[in-house]
Amino acid sequence: MSAATLLTVGTAGSSSPTAGESARAPLLDPSQHSSSASESYLDQQDEGGRPVVAAERAAVDWRFLRRFFGMLAPLRPYPALLLVLLSVAEALVVARVGKVAGSFYKLVVDRETGRLVTFFLSAAGLFVLVTIIRATNVWLSELLALRWRGRLTALIH
């Protein structure tokens, strides 16, 4: 049975498809779904038909987070998670640094000399922050590589 056969079913009882119809109908028909597309997030109901309030959804989310971090606890991936967070922070700060040149030219064209000093200080702060984040990122990745090599070597011997 081909993948196309699994995803679609033939039209039974029709001799030939008419104009606008295809020879195969989709297996999942949107009109068969019980929830309408216009149903908003606020109109959701639980199994008993009661509306789900935001506090119940938040409790479910906290339960998921507790279970997720409970599964991560034996693995001790916290330095790796910190590395991921540092990488995200670096991306955000570098995006801000990318706007420095345009802001500088705007200040020069508008002849706002009073704001140049504060602008240079904020730009220098961004560059220092990028340097600190990148250095910490490199240091943490080297530390993780050293620990992982040590663990692998201990497991091999």
Domain segments of the chain as ranges: 76-156
pLDDT score recorded for residue 44: 67
Strand partners, 45: 51
Which amino acid is located at 60 in the chain?
A: V
List the structure tokens of 20. Answer: 């606008």
Q: What is the C-alpha separation between 39 and 29, in angstroms, rounded?
A: 18
Q: Is the pLDDT of residue 76 over 90?
A: no
pLDDT score recorded for residue 54: 61
- Alpha-carbon separation of residue 63 from 8, 66, 112 (angstroms): 38, 5, 52
Q: What is the C-alpha separation between 110 and 106, in angstroms, rounded?
A: 6
Q: Is the pLDDT of residue 96 over 70?
A: yes
List the structure tokens of 80. Answer: 């790796």
C-alpha distance across the termini of the chain, in Å: 50
List the structure tokens of 143. Answer: 């530390």
CA 113, distance to chain mean position in Å, is 41
Q: Are 107 and 100 spatial neighbours (Cβ–Cβ below 8 Å)?
A: no
pTM over 0.95: no
pLDDT digits (tens, 9 = 90+) for 49-66: 776 666 666 666 788 888
Question: What is the pLDDT confidence band of residue 43, given thresholds at 50, 70 and 90?
Answer: low
